[in-house]
Amino acid sequence: MKKLKKVLFLLLMTVMLCGNTLLVSADEEDSDNNSSYGNPSDQYVSKEWKDHIRAQLNHHYSDLKIRYKLTEDQIKRMDRIYNSAMSYMQNADFMMSELTGYEAEVEGYLDEIAKEEKESFSSTQKFLMLSNEVPITSANYGEQAFVVLSLINLGKEDVTDVVVTPTVSNDKTKWPFDINQAYDAQIIQMIQAADDTVDAYNKRMDIGWLFNVRTDVLTGCYPLPFHVTYYENSTLVETDITTYINVKGANPEKTLIKYPDDEEDEDKKAANPRIIVTGYRTDPEEVFAGSTFSLTVSVKNTSRETAVENVLFNMEATVEGKDADATYAAFLPTSGSSSVYKDRIAPGETYDMSIEMEAKSDLSQKPYVLTVNMKYDTEEQVNLSDVAHVSIPIKQEAKLDTGSAEIMPESIAVGEQSNVMFSIFNTGKTTLFNVKVTYESETVDSGITYLGNIAPGNTGNVDSMLTGIAPDMGEGIVKAVVTYEDEAGNESRYEKDLNLYVYEMTFDDGMMDDFPMEPMEDETDQKGIPLIAIIGIIAAVVVVAVIIVVIISKKRKAKKHKEDMDLLDGDDV
């Protein structure tokens, strides 16, 4: 359909050219005698037509950029061709056929560059490396071995679509595992760039494979190569990463004769031993800032024939401090020396060196790199050296404190509420996660007050409403429980006692009938009258009442006596 539209457009332009509206005659004086005047191919095109062809080339180039994932090199080469062609078409004079042919030729050049296969290359700077946090695996013949790669990105840009594939071999001296399946590649979506080495260790990504060790494997230390591809800045990068595994064969007498992919002869191998770090441990296992710990680093002489002598190990910890004048090592040896000496390490022998160190109290909670520098001699060479790194995670003990509690009111009846307010201060150097407050008491009901995360040096404010549900039979103590988590999700608690008394409100119906509210108010108003005076008044009232009763009784008797006498007098008459 696009081709049809293009043909129709060219026909329309041809008609316009014949009408002399868009074209200028190549030779106006001989135009009447020129039999090919009506053929656009023999005419110089106008500026409008040039702009149309240039716009067509621009559209084609833009479409290539969308359809193909071009490298930086491809874009630079295509830009040079495109810019040169656009300038040439604007300034030069073309016949119609020349212009369209030139534009088609430029499109062809751009197509070739866009469609050419992108060559893979190994990065001059190795962005992906293995972290030394995973010790070298050891395995026995006929057993299963789990090989872990801990990848870190030491570049300044994120790497994406990381594909790691084991490089297997049928040669048992190169690949110590059975090939009874097609080993799948492991894929990592992204490994983030890091600000420094410590940050790179924090952002590392681990992948692993489960292999079956051959039953006829030879004893030795095998390099295990893995092929890696990834994208960095939209550029495909290929590289190889190698880890190692110590394998024990069925017959210890038969050892690995030659390392895989190593073209050095045996004499050179024997003359150039290497010391590698195979692992480390700390006692205690968790190291807190400000604490003293014992560090044990395991090193191995990988040579199968040559012993190393006069081995000097020197540990250098990461330098901390924001100001150049106030820098310090993260770890300091308690003995004052960071060096360990070993007179001899035999071929294939593993040596555990230990040193007691103290972690600075103001260290942040993160891993810190300890560099192990190794110098040693052999019978034929002196001052050989190797270097390794171990990463020691440091933890900060979570610390908090609370302010004085404000309780309003401090005494409530069952069914009433009291407002409790106090502050929680994070006095440590690590964040308190998922901080919440509950109240433990049989006398109140409170629910949960959630504060979230509290950063070091920050404050969380508690504002709870407690409802009395049962009278207090003890000392009126309500326990506030603050719970929080560390970075690993481990929960801790902090308790605080609050003085809040809950009582039961009761009423006596008989007392309400005998003592109505008005007399109670009068009695309240006369609180200041002494008790003896009150008793005297009551006694006087009683005496007066008795006198009144006696007088009334005597009057009644006198009246009755008179009536009786009058009745007797009437009878006599």
177 in Cβ contact with 218 (< 8 Å): no
Q: pLDDT value at position 270?
A: 45
Instruction: Return the percentage of the chain with pLDDT > 70, whole number.
Output: 75
| Closest by CA position to 448, among listed 431, 465, 425, 426 | 465
Q: pLDDT value at position 269?
A: 45
Mean pLDDT of the chain: 76
Residue 6: is its pLDDT beyond 60? no
| Closest by CA position to 507, among listed 442, 416, 413 | 413
Q: pLDDT value at position 10?
A: 42
The CA distances from residue 268 to 254, 255, 379, 411, in Å, are 21, 18, 13, 88
The 3-class SS string of 224-260 reads EEEEEEEEECCEEEEEEEEEEEEEECCCCCCECCCCC
Q: At what angle do helices 96-115 and 47-67 cross, to 10 degrees?
A: 10
pLDDT digits (tens, 9 = 90+) for 308-320: 888 888 888 877 7
pLDDT digits (tens, 9 = 90+) for 68-109: 778 888 888 888 888 888 887 887 777 777 788 888 888 888
Give the integer Cα–Cα distance in Å for 530 and 131.
91
The first and second tokens of residue 535, run together, are: 């008793």
Give the integer Cα–Cα distance in Å for 522 and 537.
15
Instruction: Return the percentage of the chain with pLDDT > 90, whole number.
Output: 10
The first and second tokens of residue 67, run together, are: 């359809």
Query: SS3 for 99?
Result: helix
Other CB atoms closer than 10 Å to residue 367's CB: what's the count? 19
171 in Cβ contact with 209 (< 8 Å): no
Higher-pLDDT residue of 487 and 306 is 306
Determine the average pLDDT of the residues in 169-193: 81
Higher-pLDDT residue of 353 and 17 is 353
pLDDT band for 266, please (50, 70, 90 cuts).
Answer: very low
pLDDT band for 406, please (50, 70, 90 cuts).
Answer: very high
62 in Cβ contact with 70 (< 8 Å): no
pLDDT digits (tens, 9 = 90+) for 270-320: 446 778 888 888 888 888 888 899 889 898 998 888 888 888 888 888 777
Q: pLDDT value at position 425?
A: 94
Determine the average pLDDT of the residues in 472-480: 86
What is the sign, positive or negative, of the torsion defined by CA atoms of 152, 155, 156, 160? negative
243 in Cβ contact with 226 (< 8 Å): yes
Give the integer Cα–Cα distance in Å for 417 and 114.
76
Residue 206: is its pLDDT beyond 90? no
The CA distances from residue 544 to 365, 537, 548, 549, in Å, are 91, 11, 6, 9
pLDDT digits (tens, 9 = 90+) for 108-147: 888 888 887 654 433 334 567 777 666 777 888 888 888 8
| Closest by CA position to 276, among listed 374, 129, 380 | 374
Q: pLDDT value at position 450?
A: 92
Q: In terms of pTM, does the model score above 0.85?
A: no
Give the integer Cα–Cα distance in Å for 231 and 166.
19
Higher-pLDDT residue of 537 and 213 is 213
pLDDT digits (tens, 9 = 90+) for 146-168: 888 888 887 778 888 888 988 88
Higher-pLDDT residue of 23 and 485 is 485
pLDDT digits (tens, 9 = 90+) for 438-463: 998 888 988 899 999 999 889 999 99
The first and second tokens of residue 320, run together, are: 């901390």
pLDDT digits (tens, 9 = 90+) for 462-475: 999 999 899 988 78
Q: pLDDT value at position 543?
A: 64
| Neighbouring residues of 542: CB distance < 8 A, sequence distance ≥ 6 | none
Domains of the chain: 2-115 (no CATH), 128-263 (2.60.40.10), 270-395 (2.60.40.10), 400-503 (2.60.40.10), 516-554 (no CATH)
Residue 435: is its pLDDT beyond 90? yes
Query: SS3 for 539?
Result: helix
